[in-house]
């Protein structure tokens, strides 16, 4: 039987593959062996330092969580046949930081031969992490951050760092940066020989079929969790710096319009980076790529996200597709689930199952889902109450965002990047 190996999200800081949301029963009933993976998180999974690099044997450090994922895939290759699975038919998948994992593994020489297909929901390493990063952060910069972090805790060598209490380390990471500290892929010369963009542009990716997409309301979590988000000119300046003037005409309207803010935030953090990944595979790979946007607002009650946020603005928020993909709508007891939700869930789980089994999502009784072909009119699947494929409505917008990103993160001279 085909195998689906799932990597959970959570910003590479929190989460578990054992969440009821990821119950694989619905997929298993369609003839798939489902495997969920846990991996090291936060500082324990992603810290770099000069001392760690010196002892590694390859001159790099960080990416330990990704090494756990590769170890899990190696285990699957060796053992999944005992569970009825076919090691030649392994699909890896993930959401949010789990999708970042999938993009790293698709870019990693260490993962070659451990999987045959990739599914990615709302996440990728194809994102500007820092100027010049090309989709992953610089090792030297991360080593310096790690060295400074350990020094602040009074650890002058690795022995001292390893003797620190676990809770003290966790508390210190939250004090420095509770969101983005030690959770990013690093070009370590081992897991990643180069940034994902350059890897694909040089045809060195693990060239396998890819199903990738995002949700229409990804940016709503910015309004949910930030005390102040906006006005739009400030947001665009923060995202695009000197290129903000190039991007501003893409989002006409009132500067405090929450719908515009949600669209701009979603495009920056999820839509554009995942489109970039799809374009890289379409342009530099031989295997097909399929692109979707999930555009169905779950039936959440008022107050679902707390008293300060209007739930009607959430839309298809980050992670909201998961219960539909896994057929676990029953894990959301506050949702007023109806027939439309159940129909969309049945469609999505079947699309995903078809892709896992055959390498393409289409099948009998489902709206046709063509591959994404920029040279002949790219088609994107719109998953909603009326699911259908059509011309990608964001293609021109994302093309402009690409030009803006190239201004703040210039392509390497001589590299033919997508």
* Alpha-carbon distance values, 396 to 134, 265, 401 (Å): 22, 17, 9
Q: Which two tokens stand for residue 1?
A: 């039987």
CA angle 122, 213, 377 (to 5 degrees): 150
Cα separation, 266 vs 217, in Å, equals: 7
- Residue 321 has phi, psi (to 5 degrees) of -75, -15
Q: How close are the terminal C-alpha atoms of the chain, in Å? A: 36
Q: Which two tokens stand for residue 341?
A: 């939700």
- For the question of residue 320 being annotated catalytic, the response is no
Catalytic residue selected from 12, 49, 61, 96: 96
Its sign, for the CA torsion 236, 240, 246, 251, is: negative
* Alpha-carbon distance values, 139 to 53, 143, 155, 179, 403 (Å): 9, 6, 20, 19, 26
* Alpha-carbon distance values, 9 to 57, 98, 120 (Å): 30, 5, 11
Q: Which two tokens stand for residue 318?
A: 């980050």
8 A C-beta contact, residue 111 and residue 73: yes
Cα separation, 47 vs 65, in Å, equals: 10
Q: Which two tokens stand for residue 9?
A: 């999200």
Cα separation, 152 vs 161, in Å, equals: 11
Cα separation, 334 vs 192, in Å, equals: 42
Crossing angle (nearest 10°) for helices 232-240 and 258-266: 10
- Which amino acids are annotated catalytic? 96
């Amino acid at each position: 039987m085909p195998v689906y190996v799932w990597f959970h999200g959570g910003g590479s800081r929190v989460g578990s593959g054992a969440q009821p949301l990821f119950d694989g029963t619905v997929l298993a009933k369609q003839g798939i062996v489902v495997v969920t993976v846990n991996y090291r998180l936060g500082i324990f999974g992603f810290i770099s330092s000069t001392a760690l690099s010196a002892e590694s044997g390859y001159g790099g450090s960080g990416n330990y969580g990704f090494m756990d994922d590769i170890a899990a895939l190696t285990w699957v290759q060796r053992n999944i046949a005992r569970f009825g699975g076919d090691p030649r038919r392994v699909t890896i998948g993930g959401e949010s930081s789990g999708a970042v994992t999938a993009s790293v593994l698709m870019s990693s020489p260490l993962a070659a031969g451990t999987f045959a297909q990739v599914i990615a929901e709302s996440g990728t390493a194809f994102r500007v992490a820092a100027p010049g990063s090309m989709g992953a952060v610089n090792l030297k910069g991360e080593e310096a951050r790690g060295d400074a972090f350990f020094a602040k805790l009074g650890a002058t060598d690795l022995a001292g760092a390893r003797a620190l209490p676990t809770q003290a380390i966790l508390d210190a990471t939250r004090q420095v940066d509770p969101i983005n500290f030690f959770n990013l892929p690093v070009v370590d010369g081992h897991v990643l020989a180069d940034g994902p963009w350059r890897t694909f542009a040089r045809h060195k990716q693990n060239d396998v079929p890819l199903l990738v997409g995002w949700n229409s309301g990804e940016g709503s979590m910015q309004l949910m969790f930030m005390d102040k988000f906006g006005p739009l000119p400030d947001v665009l300046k923060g995202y695009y710096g000197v290129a903000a003037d190039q991007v501003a005409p893409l989002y006409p309207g009132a500067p405090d319009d929450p719908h515009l803010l949600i669209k701009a935030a979603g495009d920056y953090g999820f839509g554009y980076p995942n489109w970039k990944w799809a374009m890289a595979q379409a342009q530099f790979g031989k295997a097909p790529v399929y692109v979707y946007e999930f555009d169905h607002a779950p039936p959440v009650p008022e107050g679902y996200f707390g008293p300060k946020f209007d739930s009607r603005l959430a839309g298809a928020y980050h992670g909201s597709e998961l219960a539909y993909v896994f057929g676990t709508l029953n894990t959301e007891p506050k949702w007023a689930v109806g027939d439309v939700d159940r129909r969309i869930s049945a469609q999505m789980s079947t699309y995903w199952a078809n892709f896992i089994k055959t390498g393409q999502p289409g099948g009998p009784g489902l709206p046709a889902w063509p591959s994404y072909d920029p040279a002949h009119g790219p088609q994107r699947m719109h998953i909603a109450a009326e699911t259908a494929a059509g011309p990608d409505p964001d293609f021109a917008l994302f093309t402009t965002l690409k030009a803006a990103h190239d201004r703040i993160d210039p392509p390497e001279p001589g590299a033919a990047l997508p």
